[in-house]
Amino acid sequence: MNPDLLARLRDIHELPPPSGWPPALGWWLVALAAGLLLWLAWLGIRSLRRYPLGTWHRDARNQLLALRRLTSQLTPEQSIRELSELMRRIAVARIGRGQAAGLSGRRWLEWLEEMDPEDFPWTREGQALIRAPYAPPGKVPLSREQVERLIEAALVWARRHPR
């Protein structure tokens, strides 16, 4: 054996430990999936807080949205009758049958105005709600725009109710 070759030999050394950064691709995917799951959970909790399951909030909103879509197919009188009935059902769900049944006429409109977070003028613009359901067809003059405005106000009223 050549002594020069032996002098150039070095002892066996270990490899350095693997670095912790940057993580491997699999860890990036796990982090991304965890972040996505947290975001979806946050959206679900936010949605349940806004429209809790098993309560009238979500159902009322969906029925009001359905009525808004149907206004083009119904006459303004039919739409306002449906809206009046739906708002009465929402009031019963909100404050109970005993209290809601006592609200009629101007007191009903004043209560709507009092409970509206956007201060919609129900006593002035909501007269059709108390007249149309009980009047013969064609006796309460209504425009489609007036009905649509009342439906939009009802959506806000039902969505942003005081808890």
pLDDT in tens, 98-148: 887 788 888 888 888 888 888 889 888 888 888 888 878 777 788 888 889
Task: Give the pLDDT band of residue 163 (cuts 50, 70, 90).
Answer: very low
pLDDT in tens, 56-106: 777 888 889 999 998 888 888 889 889 989 988 888 887 788 887 788 888
Distances in whole angstroms, Cα of residue 157 to Cα of each of 61, 66, 113, 132, 153: 10, 16, 9, 20, 6
Give the residue from 81, 83, 55 showing the smallest Cα distance to 149.
83
Q: Average pLDDT of 28-54? A: 86
* CA–CA dist 26, 28 (Å, integer): 5
pTM of full prediction above 0.85 = no
Residue 46: pLDDT above 80? yes
